[in-house]
Amino acid sequence: MTRAHNALIGLAVGDALGMPTQNMSRHAIAVRYGRIDGLRDAAPEQPIAPGMAAGTVTDDTEQALLLAELLIAGNGTIDALDLARSLQEWENDMRRRGSLDLLGPSTKAALDALLVGIPAAQSGRNGTTNGAAMRIAPVGIAIPITDEAALLGAVVDACTPTHNTGLGLSAAAAVAGIVSAGIDGASLREALDAGLGLADAAADLGHWAAGASVPAKTRWALTASARLDDDATTDFVADVIGTSVSSQESVVAAIVLADHFVGRPFDALCTAASIGGDTDTIAAIAGAVLGATSDKPPAPAEVQSRVVEVSHLDLGRIADALVALRSGHPATF
């Protein structure tokens, strides 16, 4: 199994682990489920995915795969209007399926603006949430970090319609950069440097929005949590970093959890699913970066199989097609 496939598996498994707990408090998760240690059915009272079967993925995986298919069809390029229409069609399909897991606030507002004629450079000027970062992993798979200009350009193209702010772009660049460096053979610790460097470059692009710098906060959080044990790290992420949809909370939280549990990736995903807030996105991003930076999948085989079967995923084909796009770039780490 390739690192590209591992990245997509990690994203999907993390997403499915966080599906039953998303938008719940840490306390409510503990009361309703206990600590998440495997795939769970969503409770009937789950606010976003009531009663969904264990192994079901959410918007994180579905939008990432949507972006992957656009990349493949566009031979590595993404058209803003095609992305907007595809996301809108995805949400309409979700409504038909009776799902409450719809477009996030930044993405929804941006698409409404884009589809009535607002230029893509303006439609995403308020997008500071994690919506772009959660779906960006396929860009990191398709383009190597050694071709930094191309990778940064693809991140910008994928983010501009919905998250054209320094915060949104830098959060997505951090994830794409880590994934891309991992596909080229880097360990997570090596890939963190590459991803945060790309995030530094992206932070100065797009529209300005108030908020903590994603790469600066990530570096600080990694240093501040370096000597903490599992419980203290979990408390630090939940209480100090934050677990909301804000890019400078959930994306930083995912990276810190991935780093702390680097030798125990499935523990990282289960902790992310138990931590409260935007659990599916935090676990999905952590899964993508852990999968991309290891030759071993970040979840047990039976968990992988259940998610692929329940959610009808064709991850091997997509991973292979993204790697084929990557072959058009220089790719040595």
Domain ranges (residues) in the chain: 3-326
pLDDT of residue 93: 72
Per-residue pLDDT band at 167 (split at 50, 70, 90)? very high
The tokens for 163 are: 């998250």
Q: Which residues of 156-172 are buried (b: 16+ CB within 10 A; e: fewer)?
A: bbbbbbbbbbbbbbbbb
Q: What is the pLDDT of residues 168-182, one digit of tens each?
A: 999 999 999 999 999
Query: With 90 as the cut, is the pLDDT of residue 104 above it?
Result: no
Q: What is the pLDDT of residues 250-274, one digit of tens each?
A: 999 999 999 999 999 999 999 999 9
- Distance from C-alpha of 307 to C-alpha of 300, rounded to nearest angstrom: 11
- Distance from C-alpha of 42 to C-alpha of 23, rounded to nearest angstrom: 12
Q: What is the pLDDT of residues 227-238, one digit of tens each?
A: 999 999 999 999
Q: What is the pLDDT of residues 48-88, one digit of tens each?
A: 889 999 999 998 999 999 999 999 999 988 887 788 778 77
The tokens for 77 are: 């390029």
Residue identified by tokens 């500071």 is 128
Query: With 70 as the cut, is the pLDDT of residue 102 above it?
Result: no
Q: How far is CA 190 from the centre of its chain?
A: 19
Q: What is the pLDDT of residues 282-329, one digit of tens each?
A: 999 999 999 999 999 999 999 999 999 999 999 999 999 999 999 886
pLDDT of residue 68: 95
Instruction: Summarize the confidence of residues 130-139 as an average pLDDT.
Output: 95
Task: Say how many CA atoms lie within 13 Å of 305 toward its Cβ.
Answer: 3
- Distance from C-alpha of 60 to C-alpha of 285, rounded to nearest angstrom: 9
- Distance from C-alpha of 152 to C-alpha of 134, rounded to nearest angstrom: 16
Q: Which CATH number fits domain 3-326: 1.10.4080.10, 3.40.50.10440, 3.40.50.1220, 3.40.50.300?
A: 1.10.4080.10
Highest-confidence segment of 1-10, 90-99, 267-276 = 267-276
The tokens for 141 are: 């798979």
pLDDT of residue 332: 34
Query: With 90 as the cut, is the pLDDT of residue 135 above it?
Result: yes
pLDDT of residue 123: 76
> Residue 24 pairs with which residues in a beta bridge?
277
Q: What is the pLDDT of residues 142-162, one digit of tens each?
A: 999 999 999 999 999 998 888
